[in-house]
Structure 1
């Protein structure tokens, strides 16, 4: 699993406010459809951007719990929501939710399930914590949909294989509907959200992935640093030449507890 240390948290703090990640966050928000007075869980809340959005929607009579295993990310989340009296942040894990049975109106998890080797325990915990009729929204990438142009396709394939090592599951959206049904959830639906760029936008998903993938390859000694930086540099050069192409699809899965 990718470790969200202080340096990584700072990179993500900026990137998560970019256009593409904002689109993903909005898609999860809309699917959850929060109402005034709701009690909600933001599972894997990261730096708290979605938590803050949800806190506004549920109002003073509602409550949002942000749960994350990373102290560095939680520090950012607490700073962001410091003036929100209806938000609580806790360090914890999805396999042991600090929530009473049948206590939540809804739960959302954005790009978290790809880090679970076994998705059944967190799904069982979410089912336990949700009220009857409670809503669950899980958003994740399907990395088999990734298409990324390079004049050195073998190096690109190798970099993508290296990046896969930080994931436990690269095809969450394909596996999730059956697991949700197996876990007792109903009304399962999946909606795609495609990202396709012919420009390397500074606030785009591709630019964020280039930074993170380069750092990950170097820090794990999976690729020599000059080679990793050359991979990143090629994408800049392709963009300047008008030859950049990147495409990846995110999926939002929605379900209910009967």
Structure 2
């Protein structure tokens, strides 16, 4: 698993500010269809960008609760939402949500459940804390959708395999609709949200995730620190030669508690 200390939290914060993830967040907000006065839970709220947007949407008559296991992430989220007193942040476990039954109108989890080994338990907890008719939106990545132009394909495949060790399920979106239906939900909307970078520059998701991957993979699947450095150099060389391309699909599902 990734450990989100201060440095990792800052790197993720930069990633969430890129135009790719800003566009993703707009899609999620559209699927949430928030109304003034609603009570919302953000499972795995991270640096709080979505939390702040949802707080603006529900207004002070509503309430938005962020939850993340990382103190470093929670500190960033609290600072981001400091002006909105109806937005709060705490720590918690996705499989044991620290909230009463039927506490929320809406639950959202973006880039969270691919880290959770016991998905039926996580879905059961969402159903428990949602009121009847309440809504949930879940977004996760299928890492088989990754396309990245590299010169050394064999090294790249080893690095991606090592990277996937930080996940409980690198292909979770394929199972999400069935998990939700079996957990007492009616699936009402499903979307693919591509992150597509035909150029490499600072305001791209891939410029940030490549650094995170390179920091994580040494010592896993036989990948060395030199392998990771050479992989980064390969990607930058593709950009210098005007041959850079990155694409990754995320899948978002909206469902209603029956």
Interval of TM-score (by shorter of Structure 1 and Structure 2): over 0.9
Q: Which residue matches 1:143? A: 143
Partner residue, 1:59: 59
CA contact (8 A) 1:109 1:139 kept: yes
**1:183 alignment partner in structure 2:** 183
Give 1:81 shift: 1.0
Shift of the alpha carbon at 1:188? Answer: 4.0
CA distance in 2: counterparts of 1:99 and 1:222, whole angstroms: 42
Aligned equivalent of 2:4: 4
Aligned to 2:103: 103
CA drift at 1:243: 0.8
Cα distance, 1:220 vs. partner? 5.8
Instruction: Note the residue ranges of structure 1 that are not aligned, 5 or more in a row.
Output: none
Shift of 1:164: 0.4
Taking only aligned residues, the RMSD between alpha carbons, in angstroms, comes to 1.3
Tell whether 2:132 aligns with 1:132: yes
- Contact 2:15–2:21 at 8 Å: present in 1 too? yes
SS of structure 2 residue aligned to 1:144: helix
**TM-score, L = length of structure 1:** 0.96
Aligned to 1:16: 16
Q: Tell me, which stretches of 5 or more residues in structure 2 are unaligned?
A: none
Q: CA deviation at 1:253?
A: 0.7
Query: What is the deviation of 1:148?
Result: 1.3
1:164 matches 2:202 = no
Shift of 1:230: 1.0
TM-score using structure 2 length:
0.96
Q: C-alpha separation between the residues in 2 aligned to 1:187 and 1:253?
A: 7
Q: In structure 1, what is the Cα distance between the partners aligned to 2:34 and 2:127?
A: 18
The question of whether the paired residues in 2 share the 8 Å contact of 1:67 and 1:90 is answered with: yes
* Alpha-carbon contact 2:37-2:62 (below 8 Å) kept: yes
Q: Secondary structure at the match of 1:196?
A: strand
SS of equivalent residue, structure 1 residue 233: helix
